[in-house]
């Protein structure tokens, strides 16, 4: 392909046709400042910060959307360009609150850092915007339109990546704002609480609902036994959130930090991930042999659950009845573990650390009070209902807590999880990335169904960041077709096939977020593919380093069945570990 010759700041440059000025500049080491633009997410050219001067052009060009043409002569830092950029930021600041010092994005705000980068020292324009109320209807996500700069990234992820479109640009002129239908708030919209908008928002206009104060309060209350569980994905992202390199694998330091914070027991959601494999694998084998609804679809990802409940309620029978690992853990902590140790479950506070904002919603689903019901059935009386999981914190909230108390994270000595709910396998670790639940399920299902060891433990066909992955498995002579999808837009494709009667799969894994939980809505902000790859890679490294890599070989799970649950899909496991779903059609 012939290349195009252009000049950038007087230097000749050759680039491929179709390149934007922004990309061409980057290739020569000039980082044109951008604010609304986010690669692979949104390019709305709304902020006007990336302007450059093109010789012969009447107005300045927006580098993010303008494609190069032969002999283009670009000036990236002329006086006119510098003045226009500064003014674009000044105009945004004129309509922006000035509470930076107490803002939750203080230090991580792109508008703030752009003002600093462009040396904006005064704002010449008076504010014209009226204060509007925050949208605090959602249990997961808070929207504050006062801080919105209308970059459109949230609308893009909600529409393009997730095909949910809970939010869109509403109104016109000065009243333009990001809104839900009738501005009723996220809770009353099709929002799945996935939180992808919170990781792409450049300011504090969309943030997770912060529950760190409530958790600190529980930790400081001597009458409470505070138990923490950590999702698989956290071990490859909390280090990053604490300033270490992207994807840093910090399982031992994370455990140490949680102990320092004062958690009484440091357990692992991976324990209940292993348990999920046994329950879900058995459910799949039952559906296959007894003619149940197929394909069966995984149910670990709460954004995905809200999505199918909202958009495809007729297909709910395809969902596994298994609760997510977070909820299985909470139900067991307050029943099995409480009984075993004599801790009063009403005094136990279960906190989970999740890469996810939808987990906050999931924890508060009214049906998630299984432990309380179980104790009630055992004859306990007069105890007010409590949830199985009390607080679900995101990776970002945990990082905030660690910084808050002054723990020097990177220097912590590695520690190990408490027993027994801290024991897990490599199969559970890879739950944190797309394809991981499928791979973990195959490791167990194959051996349970055939009684023989799996020839190759690593199912590479379902690894990687491709949107939809397929594999065909030979399980003791039976051929099984399986599929893996991440992001809800990809899930929708598989669901449409099921609805049309065209699906050829027996088992489907769906994760809500790009890359699975490692790209979750509760993860460190500003995601990109490289970050997701690094985090996923670390989980596969951890898997290889684990002494046990198959869920059914987890000794603590074997003990749990022996002492308490009897067998997968037993009566008691149905009470504590399985659930039902609701129609949420708008």
Partner 1 sequence: MKKMPNKVDVPSVKSVISKHEGKAGSLLSILEELQENDVHKHLSEEILMQVAQKAGIPLSQVYSVATFYSFFNLKPQGKHTIVVCRGTACHTRGSRALLLESAAQLGFTDFVEEDESALTTPDRKFTLRTVACFGQCALAPVVAVDGTIHSHVTPGKLLKLIQKIQKEESR
Binding site for partner 1 (CB under 8 A): 159, 164-175, 179-183, 188-190, 586
Q: CB of residue 349 vs partner 1: minimum separation in angstroms?
A: 34
The two beta strands, 391-394 and 348-354, are: parallel
Nearer to partner 1, 189 or 579 (CB): 189
Nearer to partner 1, 168 or 553 (CB): 168
Per the CB < 8 A criterion, the answer to whether 97 and 145 are in contact is no
Kindly state the tokens that stand for 500: 């049309």
Nearer to partner 1, 168 or 264 (CB): 168
DSSP state of 24: H
Q: CB of residue 189 vs partner 1: minimum separation in angstroms?
A: 7
Q: Which residues fall within 8 angstroms of residue 270, CB to CB, at 6 or more apart? A: 232, 325, 424, 425, 428, 429, 431
The two beta strands, 4-8 and 73-75, are: parallel
- 3-class SS of residue 524: coil
Q: DSSP H helical segments within 312-381, as ranges?
A: 325-332, 338-341, 358-363, 370-377
Q: Active-site positions?
A: 280, 283, 300, 320, 359, 362, 367, 517
Per the CB < 8 A criterion, the answer to whether 368 and 388 are in contact is yes
Nearer to partner 1, 162 or 395 (CB): 162
The total of other beta-carbon atoms located within 10 Å of residue 477's CB is 7
Q: CB of residue 129 vs partner 1: minimum separation in angstroms?
A: 12
Q: What is the Cα–Cα distance from 193 to 361, expressed in whole angstroms?
A: 7
φ/ψ of residue 105, rounded to 5: -105, 15
Q: Which of 97, 44, 105, 96 is nearest to 526 (CA)?
A: 105
Nearer to partner 1, 10 or 173 (CB): 173
Nearer to partner 1, 1 or 500 (CB): 500
Q: CB of residue 302 vs partner 1: minimum separation in angstroms?
A: 21
- Number of helices (H) and strands (E) in the chain: give both, helices first: 21, 17
Q: What is the Cα–Cα distance from 157 to 5, expressed in whole angstroms?
A: 34
């Amino acid at each position: 392909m012939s290349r195009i010759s252009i000049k950038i700041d007087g230097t000749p440059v050759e680039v491929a046709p179709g390149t934007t000025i922004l990309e061409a500049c980057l290739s020569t080491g000039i980082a044109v400042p951008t604010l609304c633009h986010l690669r692979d997410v949104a390019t709305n050219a709304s902020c006007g910060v990336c302007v450059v001067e093109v010789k012969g052009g009447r107005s300045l060009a927006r580098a993010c959307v303008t494609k190069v043409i032969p002999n283009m002569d670009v000036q990236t830092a002329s006086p006119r360009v510098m003045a226009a950029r500064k003014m674009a930021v000044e105009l945004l600041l004129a309509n922006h609150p000035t509470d930076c010092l107490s803002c939750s994005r203080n230090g991580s705000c792109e508008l703030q850092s752009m003002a600093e980068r462009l040396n904006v020292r005064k704002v010449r324009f008076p504010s014209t915007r009226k204060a509007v109320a925050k949208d605090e209807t959602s249990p997961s996500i808070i929207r504050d339109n006062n801080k919105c700069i209308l970059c459109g990234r949230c609308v893009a992820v909600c529409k393009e990546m997730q095909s949910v479109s809970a939010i869109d640009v509403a109104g016109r002129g000065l009243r333009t704002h990001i809104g839900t239908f009738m501005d009723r708030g996220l809770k009353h919209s099709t929002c799945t609480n996935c939180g992808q908008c919170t990781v792409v928002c450049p300011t504090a206009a969309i943030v997770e609902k912060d529950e760190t104060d409530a958790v600190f309060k529980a930790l400081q209350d001597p009458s409470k036994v505070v138990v923490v569980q950590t999702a698989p994905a956290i071990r490859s992202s909390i280090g990053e959130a604490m300033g270490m390199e992207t994807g840093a694998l910090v399982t031992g330091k994370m455990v140490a930090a949680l102990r320092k914070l004062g958690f009484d027991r440091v357990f692992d959601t991976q324990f209940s991930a292993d348990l999920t494999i046994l329950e879900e694998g058995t459910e799949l084998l039952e559906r296959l042999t007894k003619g149940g609804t197929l394909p069966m679809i995984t149910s670990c990802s709460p954004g995905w659950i809200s999505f199918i409940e909202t958009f495809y309620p007729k297909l709910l029978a395809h969902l596994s009845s298994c609760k997510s690992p977070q909820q299985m853990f909470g139900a067991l902590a307050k029943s099995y573990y409480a009984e075993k140790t004599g801790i009063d479950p009403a005094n136990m506070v279960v906190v989970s650390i999740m890469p996810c904002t939808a987990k906050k919603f999931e924890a508060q689903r009214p049906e998630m009070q299984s432990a309380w019901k179980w104790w009630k059935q055992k004859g306990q009386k007069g105890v007010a209902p409590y949830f199985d999981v009390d607080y679900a914190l995101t990776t970002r909230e945990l990082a905030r807590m660690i910084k808050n108390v002054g723990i020097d994270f990177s220097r912590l000595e590695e520690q190990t999880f408490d027993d027994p709910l801290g024991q897990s396998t490599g199969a559970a670790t890879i739950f944190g990335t797309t394809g991981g639940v499928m791979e973990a399920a195959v490791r167990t299902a194959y051996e349970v169904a055939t009684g023989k060891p799996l020839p190759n433990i690593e199912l590479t066909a379902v690894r990687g960041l491709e949107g939809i992955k397929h594999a065909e498995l030979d399980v003791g002579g039976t051929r099984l077709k399986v599929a893996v999808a991440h992001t809800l837009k990809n899930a929708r494709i598989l669901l449409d096939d099921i609805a049309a009667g065209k699906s050829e799969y027996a088992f489907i894994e769906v994760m809500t977020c790009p890359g699975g939980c490692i790209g979750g809505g509760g993860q460190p902000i500003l995601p990109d593919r490289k970050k997701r790859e690094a985090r996923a890679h670390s989980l596969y490294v951890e898997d290889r380093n684990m002494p046990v890599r198959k869920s059914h070989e987890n000794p603590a799970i074997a003990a749990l069945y022996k002492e308490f649950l009897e067998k997968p899909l037993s009566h008691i496991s149905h009470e504590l570990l399985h659930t039902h779903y609701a129609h949420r059609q708008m």
